[in-house]
Structure 1
Amino acid sequence: MLQFVDVPKEMPEKRPAPARAHDFHEIYGEFAAEKAAQQAARCSQCGVPYCQTHCPLHNNIPDWLRLTAEGRLEEAYRLSQHTNTFPEICGRICPQDRLCEGNCVIEQAGHGTVTIGAIEKFITDTAWEEGWVDVPSPATERSESVGIIGAGPAGLAAADRLRRAGVQVTVYDRYDRAGGLLTYGIPSFKLEKPVVMRRIEQLEKGGVSFRLGCRVGENISFDEIRAAHDAVLIATGVYKSRVIDAPGSGARGIVRAIDYLTAANRVSFGDRVPEFEDGTLNASGKRVVVIGGGDTAMDCVRTAIRQDAVSVKCLYRRDRANMPGSRREVENAEEEGVEFDWLTAPKGFIGDPVEGVIVQRMRLGAPDASGRQSPEP
């Protein structure tokens, strides 16, 4: 350990932008075992690990980095799995540069962070290859039954933990595939869908029952679900989009991010999507403007690039330093040809179908509750 003085930070190889901008495959390669161990050995093994305290799951990061550096990969995987049901997914999609890696002590000291996300992805992908990922089957079955409404990450994680405890679990979801935003929200260039599907298959092998195509209140009532189980967990996620209250915001051609990304992901599965085929949810040949600066906005701009949009711009009311999303994602988007217009907020829209956006230049004022500077006209 403590190799950060002599060993520089390295990320897995990234595919060149001209090549990756025309497909939906993941853009980062995989560490080799030797490289993963070398990068893990850069960890300083802090007495107070800020990487762990800034992780929403409080993953025991320093310990599984040490195990990786020592070549004890199965132990590293089991320790990462102890606090994180889907570490191979978090290793791919978490904004580590704003969480664990952004608060790494050696990053603050100017030596470059430990590449925690890439190592997490490596040890978990290795676990799948080696057969270390256990089916969530319990030692003893229990009679209690739990219904989970929503097959997204929260619902799936709950199903895994409950099944391991022996509880009988049924997951209800309105879509035809489980996974929620992992399946239909996040693009494949960040999270290839076989990574999600194999976890769902593991849950099914462990005895979790999935009832898909269930719309609570339409083809099944909440009372029916409540009567069938000892307890019900509602894990429906947040699908309500923010509405821009500005003139012309109801014009044709203005679409919600969730609808756009869902259509793109359905197409990647080979589904027929009429709104994609007629151009409503397809950026091909269009001048695209995405409003917002979070990770969902980055997903949209990078999807539009891959759909051969004529141009793609991102409008954000703050500056780069005050973005809520991953800086790494912004860098990837810029490499792929996205243009960013900082300190810009929409005031209205021109035309129906929409032909343009009326914008207001902003400046930054005092920090708000999130610690970021507030935008002001």
Structure 2
Amino acid sequence: MPKQQMLRFVTVEREMPQKRPADLRTEDFDEIYREFAAEKAAEQAGRCSQCGVPYCQTHCPLHNNIPDWLMLTAQGRLQEAYDISQSTNTFPEICGRICPQDRLCEGNCVIEQSGHGTVTIGSVEKYITDTAWQEGWVKPVTPTTERPESVAVIGAGPGGLAAADVLRRAGVQVTVYDRYDRAGGLMTYGIPGFKLEKPIVMRRIEQLEQGGVEFVLNCNVGDDISFDAIRGKHDAVLIATGVYKARDLNAPNAGATGVMKALDYLTASNRKSFGDDVAEFDSGVLDARGKRVVVIGGGDTAMDCVRTAIRQGATSVKCLYRRDRENMPGSRRETQNAEEEGVEFVWLAAPAGFVTGDDGSVTGVRVQKMRLGQPDASGRRSPEVIDGADYTEDADMAIMALGFEAEDLPTLWGVPELPVTRWGTVRAKFNTHETDMPGVWAVGDIVRGASLVVWAIRDGREAAQSILNYLSAPAQVAAE
């Protein structure tokens, strides 16, 4: 296909895959976007300008070769498009679903900045890989040569799984340890099905298992096995635990019945989607049905909570955020989806405490009205309390989605020498992801703090290459 046939952004408008109507999609936890048809995917991919400096690629944490696989999709060469996509991204179909493209690749698309509307990069990425699965192009990992070295990966989230994939392809023996009964980390238990259906995650884990990755689940390091034992059993260790400790709200009645942490709420909902028995959900504690729900926070986790509550049949769902719409950290696309589904956003509002009834259950959230003052060190305008403007939002359930912090791994694992920062995250080198402990690497949120799946994938892939270099170094020295 001649290059000029790619420059169709002038005559073809941007178009996303069709969204299921809000009144229908809130009845279930299925994904809300329909699949592109082949012709539509090719048409939208053909809007790419094939610019000389592809900002989409530059602003993708994985530096995916986006222009090339868009061109191949426009030409109908989907298997080649998948091969290029998979070469830089362990989970392209997952990133195509959950990456905030509006802040990354699509948000930096050249034709978007020229006023023609961005290429729908994420939707095409999802289409390419979904087609690859349907056509049988996705195969289990088959290393050409098996190596004797073994690597332990602690944490089966995106960073750990990405590293396991790269290491296994090189023939290294890989064992993944995880505290949960299913691998996948937050992709499995933290992200709702309407954004990422669980079979999408499970088939990738099955692919890794078929390729020889061993999973040791329901395993709490420090309790079921010591960190030192893992180090002694393997030639290298990668820490990829993520951050699961919820930030607390120091406010009156924060421990009241009905005030809960976002991850507890989302995990219960996701477990129900697997068909698990979840006592706290079945008793109604973690079920929003028939309740007035208030979610506190403005990030993607808060968006997941409000949209889950709508699907569970909440009477009303409100989201409190202390800044305004323009300054919220969550995806604009997710905010729009939530509003379409009936969520009410209360901007410039911060929780001051909780009101309880005679039985100790929450009945409302005390709200402080805010205004935006001068920018802080990050450049965002700081919220300031408006004196005398407090009021109460009625609530039968209050969900705190205030972000996550690192657990105290040195204490939990009995390894005080594990280097951590003042925030409790593991200290590791920026490029190699090595820690100061010999033979130990760390990646993802446990190093960065709460971040994006795509950054964890990048870290995991980089660390795996660093580990391979480390494992090969003794042989190289001996050869000399």
TM interval, shorter chain, is over 0.9
Equivalent residue, structure 1, for 2:224: 219
Instruction: Give the aligned residue type for 2:160.
Output: G
**Cα deviations by residue, 1:301-334 (Å, 9 ceiling, x for unpaired):** 0000010011000001111111111111111111
Confirm or deny that 1:204 pairs with 2:212: no
Confirm or deny that 1:65 pairs with 2:73: no
**Pick from 76, 97, 118: which aligns with 1:113?**
118
Instruction: Give the aligned residue type for 1:111.
Output: H
Q: Separation in 2 of the partners of 1:57 and 1:354?
A: 44
Range moving further from structure 2, 139-148 or 127-136 = 127-136
Unaligned runs of 5+ in 1: none
Q: CA RMSD in A?
A: 1.1
1:132-151 → structure 2 map (5 Å cutoff): 132-151=137-156
**Pick from 351, 375, 380: which aligns with 1:372?**
380
Q: Separation in 1 of the partners of 2:378 and 2:184?
A: 29
Instruction: Give the aligned residue type for 1:302.
Output: R
**Pick from 258, 266, 286: which aligns with 1:261?**
266
1:227-266 → structure 2 map (5 Å cutoff): 227-266=232-271
| Deviation (angstroms), 1:134 | 2.5
| Deviation (angstroms), 1:369 | 4.3
Runs of 4+ in 1 over 2 A off after TM superposition: 365-374
Equivalent residue, structure 2, for 1:301: 306
Confirm or deny that 1:32 pairs with 2:40: no
Equivalent residue, structure 2, for 1:170: 175
Confirm or deny that 1:186 pairs with 2:194: no
Instruction: Give the aligned residue type for 2:309.
Output: A
**Cα deviations by residue, 1:145-188 (Å, 9 ceiling, x for unpaired):** 00111111111111100000110000111111111111111000
1:250-329 → structure 2 map (5 Å cutoff): 250-329=255-334
Q: Separation in 2 of the partners of 1:376 and 1:305?
A: 30
Q: Separation in 2 of the partners of 1:325 and 1:51?
A: 20
CA distance 1:370–1:57, shift in 2 (3 Å):
farther
Q: Separation in 2 of the partners of 1:365 and 1:132?
A: 54
1:324-339 → structure 2 map (5 Å cutoff): 324-339=329-344
Equivalent residue, structure 1, for 2:7: 2
1:6-85 → structure 2 map (5 Å cutoff): 6-85=11-90
Indicate the SS of the match to 2:175: strand
Confirm or deny that 1:103 pairs with 2:115: no
Q: Separation in 2 of the partners of 1:350 and 1:208?
A: 50
**Pick from 159, 163, 167: which aligns with 1:158?**
163
CA distance 1:74–1:368, shift in 2 (3 Å):
farther
Range moving further from structure 2, 19-28 or 101-110 = 101-110
| Deviation (angstroms), 1:137 | 1.7
Instruction: Give the aligned residue type for 2:28.
Output: D
Instruction: Give the aligned residue type for 1:357.
Output: V
| Deviation (angstroms), 1:373 | 2.6
**Cα deviations by residue, 1:75-101 (Å, 9 ceiling, x for unpaired):** 111111111100000000111111111
Range moving further from structure 2, 199-208 or 217-226 = 217-226
TM-score, length-normalised on structure 1?
Answer: 0.98
| Deviation (angstroms), 1:226 | 1.3
Higher relative contact order (CA 8 A, sep 6+): 2
Equivalent residue, structure 2, for 1:357: 365
Range moving further from structure 2, 221-230 or 7-16 = 221-230
Q: Separation in 2 of the partners of 1:229 and 1:369?
A: 43
Identity %: 77
Instruction: Give the aligned residue type for 2:296.
Output: I
Instruction: Give the aligned residue type for 2:142.
Output: S
Indicate the SS of the match to 2:215: strand
Indicate the SS of the match to 1:3: coil
Instruction: Give the aligned residue type for 2:7.
Output: L
Equivalent residue, structure 2, for 1:93: 98
| Deviation (angstroms), 1:374 | 2.4
**Cα deviations by residue, 1:46-104 (Å, 9 ceiling, x for unpaired):** 22212112212111111111111111111111111111100000000111111111111
Confirm or deny that 1:345 pairs with 2:353: no
Q: Separation in 2 of the partners of 1:67 and 1:344?
A: 47
Unaligned runs of 5+ in 2: 1-5, 386-480
Q: Separation in 2 of the partners of 1:124 and 1:372?
A: 37
Instruction: Give the aligned residue type for 1:361.
Output: K
Q: Separation in 2 of the partners of 1:323 and 1:132?
A: 40
| Deviation (angstroms), 1:132 | 1.3
Indicate the SS of the match to 1:129: helix
| Deviation (angstroms), 1:370 | 4.0
